[in-house]
Chains A and B, each alone.
Chain A
């Protein structure tokens, strides 16, 4: 995001709308730190700039990655996916797609930058490298997957590593028996990254309606009283059958 200084009155109305604190005042000027700006367009859409001084240039690679992941209306035009959003339909339509079925395998959605911090791709890579031994496969419809140059090692294209996004999602399948090991990997890599990351597990129920992964998670002391859980009600048609 840029400011047209001939128009800007330095009122500062845009400052609180920046999710990553990239907009601030320097003397009597409002400035945007281009290294920190994630091109989410939140300031442009919501601050009601009285002089319309905010504007976004047409973004080229690699900077266009910022908008694709950070602006909810930003399309992933830098990959062959081209769609909106940071992830996939994941559990939302799992009753129809069967993306995760049975109890031998589960899926994880790990979101560097969330909540409210943002993440550089270099930190996303650190997390991907830490979990590489446990990843069975990455979701090929996920835009973060499309930016990897080596999915087995968790490596990203060097030219994009300094780009900062509001968040992106590492979405992968793993063996249910590896859940505790991968959680330990998160704890370790969490000490090395300059951001936060939110972790979610997607797991199907068995024929009796039980979810074995839930018991493993509860053993880690997670009570499901601190945050929301998403529950797919199995109402989609046609219902996936393995």
Chain B
């Protein structure tokens, strides 16, 4: 599924770039575990704020070495999340140089991703564009809550949890940092941006209407 698409963005610089690495099943899925381990070795050099994947685990609860041990054949893909264009450019450049051969997809603001790709001489092959949300839009939570929740494409980060944690922060029962970590764990793909969640939570707790 398009689980890293449709992430709601607020402003530039957005500071939220997901790199996804995946074999095409039945075509180039030889030595999946060995490949995942090599890509994790690249990711870890560029300050990821999250990393891992379904059946592999999250950086929040594992070291990069533990994630490499957890890598398995039936994990569909491996991800890492970066906060700066410099880190994204660095990781793309090294992936291009190493040329391990799995497909690489970057999710982020289009112009930013293109800038980084161009700097390392990469020419995009294809795009998945988000054309927005249709239908009963009155059912959606407020936009800052969406900014956090849409970081999990499987909808495992709920508006109810964001709003409860925001209330707990206001009452002094928890901190934005601990709340952001609590929001990270339900997203088992490792694509949730903990640092961005912390920043958005800070905005939410200042905003009485959310």
Contact = CB atoms under 8 A, between A and B. Distances in A.
B28 to A, nearest CB: 6
Interface stretch (B44-52, B59-67, B117-125, B198-206): B117-125
Contacts of B136: 117, 190, 193-196
Contacts of A116: 140-141, 146, 149-150, 155, 158-159
A183 to B, nearest CB: 7
Interface string A79-122: 00000111111111111110010000000010110111100000
B137 A96 contact: no
Interface residues of B, number: 75
Interface size range on A against B: 35 or more
A186 B128 contact: no
Interface centre among B18, B106, B133 (most CB of A within 10 A): B133
Interface string B133-168: 111110111000010011001111011110110000
Contact of A17 (B5, B24, B160): B160
A105 to B, nearest CB: 12
Given A18-B160, A214-B127, 8 more contacts: A87-B1, A88-B1, A89-B24, A91-B127, A94-B125, A187-B134, A211-B127, A231-B106
A62 interface: no
13 contacts: A17-B158, A86-B154, A94-B125, A111-B2, A115-B155, A190-B135, A199-B131, A231-B117, A232-B125, A233-B96, A235-B101, A237-B101, A238-B28
Contacts of B131: 183, 199-201, 217, 220, 222
A137 interface: no
A203 interface: yes
Interface string B2-19: 101111110010001010
Contacts of B40: none
Interface in A164-217: 166-167, 169, 183, 186-187, 189-190, 193-205, 209, 211, 213-214, 217
A93 B23 CA distance: 7
Contacts of B185: 46
A97 B102 CA distance: 12
Contact of B156 (A72, A187, A196): A72
A17 B185 CA distance: 12
A169 B1 contact: yes
Given A109-B128, A230-B105, A89 B6 contact: no
Nearest to A222: B131
